[in-house]
Structure 1
Amino acid sequence: MPKTDTILSAKSLRYFLQLIDTMNYTQAAQILGITQPALTQQIKKLEHAIGVPLFGQMGKKLYLTEAGKEMETAAVELLGTINSVVNDIQEFTQADKGSISIGILENLDLNIFRKFLIEFNKEFPDVTIDVNSFNRRELWQQLDNNLIDIAIMYLPDTTKRNNINLQQQYDHSEVYEDQMVVLTHKDTVDANETYPVSRFTKRKWVAYPKTFYLSKLMDDVYGKKNKPIIPMRFSSTSDLVKVAENSDLDTFVTKSYYEAHKQKISLTPVFLKNSKSFEISLVYRKGKMEIPRIENLLTAWADFLKQKDYSSRLQDR
């Protein structure tokens, strides 16, 4: 048996591609849920089987060798073939059994989706639902490698995804048109009105981490010449609001979050001019609807929103 037979597994190829995505052993291992030594060992085994280094190092930075670049192309093609075979098999599985894996963007409010999944479980008790939160880059990595069936995230998204074209590889279903809402202490503005960002450039903010979707939106609104003054950052939306309410800092959240919690929020909500809207969307690989249990879930979700739309359900909270 050639030594490559036991090395070129789907797992080793995913490890290899994840390391390319981050170019950092520690980050790649965290995303994969393994230890750094385990990842290092897998890469060394892969290089030993092929006979040449796939990665080089300049200082502390990794780079792909020419052999690594060739291997990347082959790995993407091989995983694509494996994923296609898996999908073909799943098409014939029973509709009322099996598992569905869902990835949700880390700062999305789960309340409405949680209520839906409780109802879906009552109808299909033998379908196991696995739900996990990820950041944007991790979500695309999970989707690209077929590790999750459905992602619930914001679109449009500009996260680098190995040049994979969304329209060619994925289908998506829009759930709710969202936008950024500023929650401010300013007493010279009116609630729910729109103002230029110049009215807020001297304000200080409690904000999401730099990699979060809304942080990027706020940077875009401020433009290249200015930067928001941010002395504090939190990943939890509820923490943002609590800190803002108990300090002189302003903050910004999604309209969907504000609509669901506005009865408890004391700050004044306003909108910023030139702030782009975005969609909460369900994203999944083309062909997933052909798998019976996933088709049932997506159909049930559509029926759930027909009974009462997403906006109305936000108001119910």
Structure 2
Amino acid sequence: MKPQLDKLLSSKSFLYFLQLVETMNYTQAAQRIGISQPALTQQIKKLENNVGAELFYSVGKKLYLTNAGKIMQKTIEEIYDSLLIATESIQQDTNEVSGKITLGISASIEDKVFTDFIVNYFKKYPSVEITILMVNRKEVWNSLETGKIDLAVLYVPEQLIDNWRAYATKSILKDEILFLHHNSDFIGKTEISYSETLKQPWVTYPKAYFVSQVILNAFKRKQLPVPESVAYFTKPAQMFKFSNETGTYTALPKSFFQAHECEGNLSAIPFNPPLEMDLTFVLRKEKEKIPRIKHFLEMFDHYLEDEDYISRLKK
């Protein structure tokens, strides 16, 4: 392979480019793939230097594709389509209950329901080999885009889903982020303003984590300082324990709190305005046609029909 072509054909640069095309917003694209906005800008500039042409231009605050950018988009999408078709031609088995399925679950999501389901699924369909990867959001997106995983499980802001052309989604649970506290002054409140939550330090997800970005952006939209964090954890159970034993504030998914409320002395209040998200399966649209993927999702639906997600999470 020619050296210049070797630099150009980077799955990472393709991923970053396509995410920016999807959102036409550097901030949103950077949050989605889990990197900083300057890092994304640098990667796009690097790709433009390798191509020898600008791929985007802006008018005011709006971002648009140049002609070169449109050619690049069409080419990259054709490359991915060809790779996915080739991969599935090699791997696909017409039997819906045999073959391999790989799930990528964001590390900030509790995996209990998915693990329990897969144990149940294997007992019925032992010819399906299932792998779960608990990785950070950036790795989940990269693996999804490059075909290394079949299904991603992510928290997704509802307003973004409608803009995704290359992906299909399947909602698992309507969720929201709740404010958790020990403050007796808040008892009886049905909602809480963002400014009221700044009176004590917090324990949070790391700043680069998607849920953390959602929370921080909500404070910035209110033109408020972001909460002072004295500790950072990647797992909600760790944050819950730290907050419960130290008196610090925190914010966690409602689904987690409902399942673990009895394990501590924390109270929960919705934010005003609320921070709503969907817990969602995300997959490339080509994957919907694969029999074993379709069957797996149908069986997961039946699993939750027998007993809902929150009830299973509490076990």
Look at both structures and tell me which one has the larger radius of gyration over its CA atoms.
Answer: 1
CA RMSD of aligned residues (A): 3.4
1:98 corresponding residue in structure 2:
99
- Cα offset, 1:296, TM superposition: 1.6
Which residue of structure 1 aligns with residue 219 of structure 2?
222
Which residue, out of 197, 200, 203, partners 1:203? 200
Q: How does 1:301-312 map to 2 (within 5 A)?
A: 301-312=300-311
Q: Is the 8 A contact 2:12 2:142 kept in 1?
A: no
Deviation at 1:307, TM superposition (A): 0.9
Query: What corresponds to 2:142 in structure 1?
Result: 141
Over 3 Å counting, the alpha-carbon distance change for 1:19 and 1:222 in structure 2 is: closer
Equivalent pair of 2:109/2:235 in contact (CA under 8 Å): no
Report the AA paired with residue 156 of structure 1.
Answer: P
Contact 1:94-1:293 at 8 Å conserved across structures: yes
Partner of 1:260: 259
TM-score by length of 1: 0.75
Q: Secondary structure at the match of 1:112?
A: helix
Distance across 2 between alignment mates of 1:67 and 1:151:
31
Instruction: Among all aligned residue pairs of Structure 1 and Structure 2, give the percentage whose two residues are the same amino acid.
Output: 24
Contiguous gaps of at least 5 residues in structure 2 = 20-32, 34-41, 54-67
Aligned to 2:250: 251
May I ask how many residue pairs the two structures share in their alignment?
A: 273
Q: Secondary structure at the match of 1:209?
A: coil
CA distance in 1, matches of 2:94, 2:262: 46
For residue 77 of structure 1, what is the aligned residue in structure 2?
78
Q: Provide the C-alpha distance between the structure 2 equivalents of 1:122 and 1:181, rounded to a whole number of angstroms.
A: 36
TM-score (ref. length: structure 2): 0.75
Shift, 1:181, TM fit: 1.4
- Following the alignment from structure 1 to structure 2, what is the Cα–Cα distance between the partners of residues 150 and 275? 28
Determine the C-alpha separation between the residues in 2 that align with 1:8 and 1:134: 30
Shift of 1:276: 2.4
Distance 2:116 2:159 in 1: 30
Partners in 2 of 1:191 and 1:176 — Cα distance? 26
Native 8 Å contact 1:176 1:311 kept in 2: no
Give the C-alpha shift of residue 119 in structure 1: 0.6
> Distance in 1 between the 2:182 and 2:80 partners?
52
Moved more, 113-122 or 228-237: 228-237
Give 1:293 deviation, angstroms. 1.5
Pairwise CA distance, 1:188: 0.6
Between 86-95 and 297-306, report the one with greater CA deviation: 86-95
| Counterpart residue type for residue 169 of structure 2 | H
Residue type of the partner of 1:188?
Answer: D
| Cα drift, residue 108 of structure 1 | 0.5
- SS for the counterpart of 2:183 is coil
Whole-Å separation in 2 of the counterparts to 1:233 and 1:97: 41
Q: Choose 189-198 or 226-235, whichever is displaced more.
A: 189-198
